[in-house]
Amino acid sequence: MAVTDEPGRQSICASHLRDLLTGPYRHVWLRMVDREGPAEIHFSAVAKVLARTAERDSPDGAHHRGLRDRVRRALAQDRLSASTLDLFIRGFGIRGPEAARLWQLLLGGPAEIPAPRPAPEQARVR
């Protein structure tokens, strides 16, 4: 899935993602805030949410500090890749029309929603 930045697709998608994270999905990352600050979005707390999802994807795990720069680039600098958007959508449980809208904003055309990724073998319940 190639992301081209035709008239600012990454910026438009990142702006919509910020709206979701400061609105209906704020409660998800707010639980992860260690210290309250004046920030509209607490990048470290968002990274902690994404780290939980990344840990399920990789047997090596993921640490939120490693994801903090990725979160900052996506939300503050409007540099949003398809893989990062996928991580946000899965991490925050964004579904239905909201997820479709994000993909449409990033990729253009009709909403192209990638197939959900299966859980790693060791995480499956038998």
8 A C-beta contact, residue 74 and residue 84: yes
Q: What is the pTM of this model?
A: 0.77
Closest CA to 13 of 91, 97, 104: 104
Tell me the three state secondary structure of residue 111. Answer: coil
Q: What is the pLDDT of residues 87-123, one digit of tens each?
A: 999 999 999 999 999 999 999 865 445 555 444 443 3
pLDDT at 95: 94
Domain coordinates in residue numbering, the chain: 7-108
**Could you give the residue ranges of the DSSP H alpha helices within the chain?**
9-22, 26-30, 43-57, 64-76, 82-92, 96-107
Residue 4 pLDDT exceeds 60: no
